[in-house]
């Protein structure tokens, strides 16, 4: 697993985190609404909330539900965070996840084929409405596969002509680097996005997390 965060300003609103609990590895990525100090403070609350709840165990949907309850309290500015929360069972090779309004991740297989995860339950972003019950999904077997989580600072990166990097380019780069390590994939995406911008100012925080499992 390897992650990278590149804020667009001095303080950012993106987050990623991970924690191992018993035989389970929890990890997440998120993107807070707004910019500047308020977004950064809300990001800190969300990141700490994930760590606390994941350290207690439980399913990703339950973590999202409890985070939403807490972040809705005294949220007078109406801030919210989109999140993708995962739990990988180290023994069984199974993944559970909950998508709270975030970009679906890219999934790769052992043959170097990549596609966007078909998320049936997108749920609402966290922090908007109290009393929501988040719904999770799962992948029974996640061996010899890769998952790329990212924020929209990647696919919505703009060049001088205000053209966006786009999702197709993500798939193309991953396909051409299919055998690379998680770290090399992230670094290749960062370099390609920078080359695409061609000197244009970074318009949003860029955060990525790659998770690769190789098991016999």
Once rounded to an integer, what is the mean pLDDT over residues 57-78? 94
Is the confidence at residue 215, as pLDDT, over 80? no
CB-based contact 11:36 (threshold 8 Å):
yes
- Domain tally for the chain? 1
Asked whether residue 216 carries a pLDDT value surpassing 60, the answer given is: no
Confidence band of 156 (pLDDT split at 50, 70, 90)? very high
Tell me the torsion sign for CA atoms 41, 84, 172, 94: positive
Domain region containing 28: 2-213
CATH of the domain at 82: 3.60.40.10
Q: 30 near 15, Cβ under 8 Å?
A: yes
- Closest Cα to residue 139, out of 98, 193, 111, 168? 98
pLDDT digits (tens, 9 = 90+) for 5-18: 998 887 788 999 99
């Amino acid at each position: 697993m390897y992650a990278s965060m590149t804020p667009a300003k001095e303080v950012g609103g993106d987050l990623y985190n991970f924690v191992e609990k018993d035989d389970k590895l929890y990890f997440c990525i998120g993107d807070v609404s707004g910019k500047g100090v308020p977004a950064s403070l809300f990001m800190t609350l969300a990141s700490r909330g994930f760590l606390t709840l994941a350290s207690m165990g439980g399913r990703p949907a339950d973590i999202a539900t409890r985070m939403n309850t807490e972040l809705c309290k005294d949220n007078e500015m109406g801030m919210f965070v989109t999140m993708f929360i995962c739990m990988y069972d180290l023994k069984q090779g199974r993944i559970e996840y909950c998508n709270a309004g975030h970009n679906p991740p890219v999934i790769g297989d052992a043959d170097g084929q990549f596609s966007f995860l078909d998320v049936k339950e997108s749920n609402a972003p966290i922090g908007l409405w109290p009393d929501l019950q988040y719904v999770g999904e799962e992948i029974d077997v996640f061996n010899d596969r890769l998952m790329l989580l990212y924020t929209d600072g990647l696919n919505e990166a703009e060049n001088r002509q205000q053209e966006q990097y786009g999702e197709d380019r993500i798939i193309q780069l991953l396909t051409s680097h299919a055998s690379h390590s998680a770290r090399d994939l992230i670094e290749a995406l960062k370099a390609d996005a920078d080359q695409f911008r061609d000197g244009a100012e970074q318009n949003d925080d860029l955060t990525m997390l790659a998770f690769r499992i190789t098991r016999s």
